[in-house]
Amino acid sequence: MEIPLEKIVLLAALAGEVLLKNGGETRRVEETMEHMARACGAAGVESFVIPTGVFLTVSDASGQSLTMIRRVRDRTINLDRIAKVNELSRRLVERRIDPGSAKAILLRISQERSGFSLPTSIAASGAIGATTAVLQAGGFFEIGAAFVAAGAVRYIAHVVSRLQGTPVAYEFLGGAVVAVIGSVLYYYWPQLGRDSIIIGGIMPLVPGMAITNALRDFIVGDLVSGLSRGMEALLTAVAVAMGVFIVLATVL
């Protein structure tokens, strides 16, 4: 049975939107939309993806075409959702699922509650800070302080997101709070390594995924996406650095 273009473009664009919102790189999003659209019977597929939007055009054998644009405003990193969409795409291409069921599963993936509880996230963030302090040759107390500082960064992210603040605000505040914690502890206990505490505390703020995706986009020739992701990573680094710098400059 021939599937209408409207249903094809809705399904493929929804898959691309879910991938892009959850940290999928540009090339992966484009390829997934193309595979899913062709699996549904589209004769031609043209897609263009940037970090803030998905543009998709599908056409049938008669030459009739339909275009859809999906604006993406909020982005995060959720590799679980990316893996689920990729698996769904493979099932659709291999004819192990029909398009109607695929759309229902996609909607469920996009709406499901993701991530861990706040205490678990704080503990995981603290573990990142603590292990970084170990790499910085920090002692037992530096490791514990870095754990607390990195956990505070995760809590700040939670508060800022609840207040619908921008990521830059949370990154700046996170860097400032980590510098305050390191400076206060160093003031009362000068034997502590302040640098180890601060470096460990800001480690959860490092835009590692954004840098990786930017480099990947540049390598495969997606210059617009690579540039925008690179600027996003640079802005994050500047916000964190300014938060730390202002506090340290004030203390010193």
User: Model confidence over 122-149: pLDDT tens digits?
Assistant: 999 999 999 999 988 888 899 999 999 9
Q: How far apart are CA 144 and CA 179, in angstroms?
A: 15
For the chain, list the strands marked E by DSSP.
Answer: 44-50, 53-59, 65-71
pLDDT tens sequence across 175-214: 999 999 999 998 888 888 888 999 999 999 888 878 888 8
Confidence of residue 252 (pLDDT cuts 50, 70, 90): low
Looking at residue 114, what is its pLDDT? 66
187 token code pair: 């003031």
Which pLDDT band, with edges at 50, 70 and 90, does 58 fall under? Answer: very high
Please give the pLDDT value at position 88: 93
Q: Answer yes or no: pTM beyond 0.95.
A: no
> Is 25 in contact with 41 (CB distance < 8 Å)?
no
pLDDT of residue 1: 56
Across the chain, which distance is largest between two alpha carbons, in Å? Answer: 77
pLDDT score recorded for residue 223: 82
pLDDT of 78 reads 84
Total residues belonging to the chain: 252
Helix boundaries (H) for the chain: 5-21, 26-39, 79-93, 99-111, 118-135, 140-162, 167-188, 194-202, 208-220, 223-251
Nearest to 245 by CA among 178, 193, 191: 178
The yes-or-no verdict on residue 242 having pLDDT over 90 is: yes
Give the per-residue pLDDT at 115.
64
What pLDDT score does 208 carry?
81
Please give the pLDDT value at position 159. Answer: 86
- Rounded to the nearest integer, the mean pLDDT of the chain is 88
pLDDT at 79: 84
Mean pLDDT for 222-245 is 88
**pLDDT per residue over 66-123, tens digit each?**
999 999 888 888 888 999 999 999 999 998 998 888 899 999 998 877 667 788 889 9
